[in-house]
């Protein structure tokens, strides 16, 4: 295990923002984890677990708590039945590699999640999902270190309380996920394609099925068009994907929004939600528009990205400005999807506060 003191966290995140970690430990070998538990005991607060940093905003002052960079790798088949294959994956394994492997092995359950950056261990944290599939469809259980109990625990998928971009692991440092098991079905055909954009790309009706690899290719094409894959040459590459959760709407609101051509979708937890990006567009933000120092709306999609000069403070301010303007224009309060790492806590300005709006207006 490699341990450094004062290492900058910015290069370990896709936004490339954030100060140093008082103690950073890179875990490559699962058996070294107990050594980290001892080291973390010498630092204040509960340690932070970091994967590929693709869904976090790290504070400019960094973290005084110990940071564990989860870099373990490996996946293996642990069992079969007639239709399903059980696969155990180390938490630090790249998620894109896991998804590609399942497709190559003739399994369905992950093909719509192709191109999502990050580690496998982070996927239950916000029940990662896209284009009609989410981790809750296939997760069997996780093995985790429970910092409160001070021991290893195994939690089945029900105990993980996976919801729409949330779980028992979201907004807490209580657990560090070490390994995970998934059950995937054997099938040459993908799950039904429920998103219109993907169905259009494939030239099939919504609800149709195609070979899993074809479905994955179509999803990747749609994602690329929105800057939703990590591409080092992309000018919008300093991104965390979606900044905000898609807010839940009532049946009446859903009908009204559909009449305006809003992307409204049903989710596995029973909720109906409207796209946050669509709301941002409705609130009057244009693609590429600068928001605060070093931050702007992506040139491809209605989300925030960072450029030179961005800081955690300016990025958090930009989040607040977008949130306030969407509230004012659409009466919908957005909630940030990303996690805030470090010794600060992001507090959106109160809905009555107009500072954000004023700042945004002055940049039009
Ligand atoms: C271009 C782009 C596209 C994206 N598209 C999607 C999408 O379609 N759908 C979607 O759901 N997300 C999407 N995301 C968000 C992100 O990819 C996922 O949330 C991903 O699971 C984060 O993985 P990570 O390893 O980078 O986690 P990090 O960003 O490092 O961490 C995220 C959170 O998980 C915690 N965490 C990480 N690893 C562990 C662990 N082993 N144990 C306990 N806690 C842990 C961290 O403490 C933090 O709170 C996208 C991001 C980008 C940049």
| Structural domain includes residue 241 | no
| Structural domain includes residue 197 | no
337 is catalytic: yes
**Nearest partner of 43 among 12, 6, 84, 14, judged by Cα:** 6
Give me the torsion for CA of 327, 330, 332, 338, rounded to 10°: -70
Tracing tokens 């293996």 back to the chain, one arrives at: 76
* Claim to verify: residue 94 and residue 44 sit in the same structural domain: no
* Claim to verify: residue 52 and residue 28 sit in the same structural domain: yes
| Structural domain includes residue 303 | yes
Question: Cα(303)–Cα(300) distance, rounded to whole angstroms?
Answer: 9
* Claim to verify: residue 31 and residue 110 sit in the same structural domain: no
Atom of ligand 1 nearest to the CA of 239: 53
| Structural domain includes residue 201 | no
* Claim to verify: residue 63 and residue 123 sit in the same structural domain: no
Query: Which of the listed residues 122, 198, 346 should we mutate to test ligand 1's pocket, taking the one with most ligand atoms within 8 A of CB?
Result: 122
CATH number at 117 reads: 3.30.465.10
* Claim to verify: residue 95 and residue 142 sit in the same structural domain: yes
CATH number at 6 reads: 3.30.43.10
Tracing tokens 């600060």 back to the chain, one arrives at: 344
Total domain count, the chain: 3
Tracing tokens 């009908």 back to the chain, one arrives at: 255
Query: Which of the listed residues 12, 26, 33, 51 should we mutate to test ligand 1's pocket, taking the one with most ligand atoms within 8 A of CB?
Result: 51
* Claim to verify: residue 65 and residue 82 sit in the same structural domain: no
Last residue of a domain, one of 159, 186, 213: 186
* Claim to verify: residue 278 and residue 316 sit in the same structural domain: yes
Beta carbons within 8 Å of 213's beta carbon, 6+ residues apart: 103, 111
* Claim to verify: residue 358 and residue 257 sit in the same structural domain: yes
| Structural domain includes residue 174 | yes
| pLDDT reported for residue 346 | 52
| Domain carrying residue 275 | 251-362
| pLDDT reported for residue 343 | 77
- A 10 A CB-CB count for 332 gives 19
Last residue of a domain, one of 130, 156, 186: 186
Segment 21-43, tens digit of pLDDT: 999 999 999 999 999 999 999 99
Instruction: Give 270 Cα–ligand 1 centroid separation in angstroms.
Output: 23
* Claim to verify: residue 96 and residue 138 sit in the same structural domain: yes
Contact between residue 245 and residue 337 where contact means Cβ atoms under 8 Å apart = yes
| Structural domain includes residue 245 | no
Last residue of a domain, one of 52, 70, 88: 70
* Claim to verify: residue 180 and residue 272 sit in the same structural domain: no
Tell me which of 26, 54, 165, 298 is the catalytic residue. 165
Low-confidence ranges of the chain (pLDDT < 70): 232-233, 344-364
* Claim to verify: residue 109 and residue 130 sit in the same structural domain: yes
| Structural domain includes residue 195 | no
* Claim to verify: residue 41 and residue 110 sit in the same structural domain: no
| Structural domain includes residue 110 | yes
CATH number at 313 reads: 3.90.78.10
Q: What share of the chain is helix, strand, coil (3-state, %, to 5)?
A: 25, 25, 45
Using CB atoms within 10 Å of the CB of residue 346, give its burial: 0 to 12 exposed, 13 to 18 middle, 19+ buried.
middle
């Amino acid at each position: 295990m490699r341990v450094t003191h004062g290492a900058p966290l910015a290069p370990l995140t896709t936004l490339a923002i954030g100060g140093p970690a008082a103690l950073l430990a890179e875990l490559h070998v699962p058996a070294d984890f107990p050594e980290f538990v001892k080291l973390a005991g010498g630092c204040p607060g509960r340690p932070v677990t970091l994967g590929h940093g693709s869904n976090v905003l790290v504070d400019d002052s960094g973290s005084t708590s110990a940071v564990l960079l989860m870099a373990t790798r490996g996946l293996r088949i642990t069992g079969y039945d007639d239709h399903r294959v059980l696969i155990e994956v180390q938490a630090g394994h790249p998620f894109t590699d896991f998804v590609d492997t399942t497709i190559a092995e003739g399994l369905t359950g992950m093909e719509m999640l192709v191109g999502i950056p990050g580690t496998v261990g982070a996927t239950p944290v916000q029940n990662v999902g896209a284009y009609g599939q989410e981790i809750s469809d296939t997760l069997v259980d996780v093995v985790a270190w429970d910092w409160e109990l001070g021991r290893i625990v195994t939690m089945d998928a029900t105990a993980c309380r996976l919801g729409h971009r949330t779980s028992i692991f979201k907004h807490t440092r209580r657990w560090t996920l070490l390994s995970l098991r998934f059950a995937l079905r054997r099938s040459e055909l993908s799950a039904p394609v429920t998103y219109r954009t993907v169905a259009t790309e494939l030239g099939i009706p919504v609800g149709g099925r195609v070979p899993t690899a074809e479905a994955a290719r179509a999803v990747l094409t749609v994602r690329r068009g929105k800057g939703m894959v990590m591409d080092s040459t992309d000018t919008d590459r300093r991104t965390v994907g979606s900044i905000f959760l898609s807010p839940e709407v009532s049946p009446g609101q859903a009908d009204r929004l559909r009449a305006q051509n809003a992307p409204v979708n049903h989710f596995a937890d029973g909720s109906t939600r409207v796209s946050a990006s669509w709301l941002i567009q409705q609130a009057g933000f244009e693609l590429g528009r600068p928001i605060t120092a070093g931050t702007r709306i992506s040139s491809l999609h209605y989300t925030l990205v960072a450029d030179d000069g961005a800081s955690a403070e300016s990025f958090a301010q930009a989040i607040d400005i977008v949130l306030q303007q969407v509230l004012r224009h659409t009466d919908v309060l957005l909630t940030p999807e990303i996690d805030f790492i470090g010794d600060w806590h992001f507090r959106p300005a109160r809905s009555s506060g107009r500072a954000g709006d004023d700042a945004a207006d002055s940049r039009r």
